[in-house]
Every structure is written in C-alpha cells, then in structure tokens.
A = this chain, B = another copy of it.
Amino acid sequence: MKSPNICQDCTVRDLALCGSLDDMELGLLNSIAERRTYARGTTIIWAGGESVICANVLTGMLKLTTSTPDGREQIVGLLYPADFVGQPYSEEAGHSVRALSDVELCVFPRQKFEQVLDNHIRMERLLLQRTLTALQEARARMLMLARKSAHEKVAEFLLEMADKAGPTGCRSAPDAPLTFDLPLTRGQMADILGLTIETVSRQLTQLRTAGVIGLPGSRAVTISNRTALEAIAAAA
C-alpha cells in the first residue's frame, strides 16, 4: 500500500521531531505519515479553519500569517526544513500557512499525530521544547515590531537572514564581505517587519549608499560592513 519506509531517505531525519524516535516507533509514525508537495503560493492551512493536519517541513520555506478582518497581513513566523507545522490539541487553526517556495511536507492527520505524541514521551518533550523556543522567538519579535525603527528592523533582518541563509563556509575574517540570496520579495520582507514595501526598499538603498551593504541583484545582498550593520540593528 504505502511506500515501504518513507523515513529512510528523509532529509531532515535527525533534525526534526522524529529524530527522537527509534526505528520501531518510526515505523508506526510512518504508517500515518504521507509525503505531499505543494506549489509556491499554495495555502496549506487557513486561519480560522479546522486544524486537521500537522507536518514536518522537508524542503522549502513557508510563512505563517495572521490578518486583520480588513485584510492587513502580518507574517508571524517563517518555517524552514525540519520545522514543525500545525497546532496539536487545537480544533481551530490560529493562523494561515502558505508556501513561499515549492515545498515538500511530511503530513500527519492531527488527531493521529496527537495519539503518537501521547505514546511517545520523548517526542512530546521535544515538541514542548520547540514550542517554548518558538514562544521566546515570537516575543523577541514583538519587541522588534513595536519598538524598533525601520532602519533597525531592516538591519536586524538582514543579519538574521545572513546567519540562516548564508552558511557558505565560515568566512575567515569576521568583517569579510558575505553575499547571500534573499529568498523573499520586498513585499514579504515588509510583511515580516511590519513595514511597507516602499519603506523596505528605501531602507535598503539607504544602507547601500551608506556602503554598509551591496545589492548585486534584486534578490541578492552583500554585507560589506557587518560591524556597522550590527551597530544599526542594535541602537537607533
């Protein structure tokens, strides 16, 4: 019926929640899991809708959003490979989940997943720890959204992305130029930072003319002066 063992060639096997399971337990999880791919732009979970699935991200990137009734949107989190998606123990989804790139997920029906959690303490504990971390991150982001200027927001965001997206070999000098791709449009950056597209764009060109960063292409960034960027991110 099912493919014999979809976990065997799993790319995030050791990083995801399931890393805590032994082979036998994996077999069980395997039997309720299903790999699914979604095209860029697909909404996988609708805020306010029924919370029917949980999943692990295998490849790609997703955004987690909430919106005001009149349509203003805010990205409240980004999901990368090995991250966990969904809300166990909740009947209703609190926010929408949308694919920013083509994504591949390892999907579980929510209720069955809860049963697995119930029977596998180690996995539950891992989920608890991840959730606690996510909570801390969310709260740090609250500070940024509420109290930082556009300047600071953009600088901080670039540093974060540099750490996430650009492990292209540990640059020898701490201040050597580092180039990486932004996997996001200006609009998406704006949604994350609580700004408008125009403001993000202006801040970036301002950083460029200040010589702190370079913008080789519309999706690429070079950090030419990390120290300066950090100074901007931290203070005003």
Assess the A69–B235 pair: CB atoms within 8 A.
yes
A68-B147, A145-B194, A194-B146 known; A139 vs B139 contact (CB < 8 Å): no
Assess the A76–B142 pair: CB atoms within 8 A.
yes
> Could you say which of B64, B125, B193, B236 contacts A139, with CB atoms under 8 Å apart?
B64
CB distance from A110 to the nearest CB of B (A): 12
**Could you mark each residue 114-154 of chain A with 1 if its beta carbon is under 8 Å from any beta carbon of chain B, else 0?**
00001001001101110110111011111101111000000
The answer, yes or no, to whether A39 is at the interface (CB within 8 Å) is: no
Number of copies of this chain in the oligomer? 2
Which among A76, A77, A94, A139 has the greatest number of chain B C-beta atoms within 10 A?
Answer: A139
What bracket does the count of chain A residues touching chain B fall in?
35 or more
**Stretch from A82-90, A167-175, A207-215 contacting the other chain:** A82-90
24 A-B residue pairs with CB within 8 Å: A66-B140, A68-B148, A68-B235, A70-B235, A74-B142, A74-B143, A74-B146, A74-B147, A77-B139, A88-B132, A90-B136, A94-B140, A95-B136, A95-B139, A121-B121, A124-B124, A124-B125, A124-B128, A131-B135, A135-B135, A145-B194, A146-B146, A146-B194, A147-B194
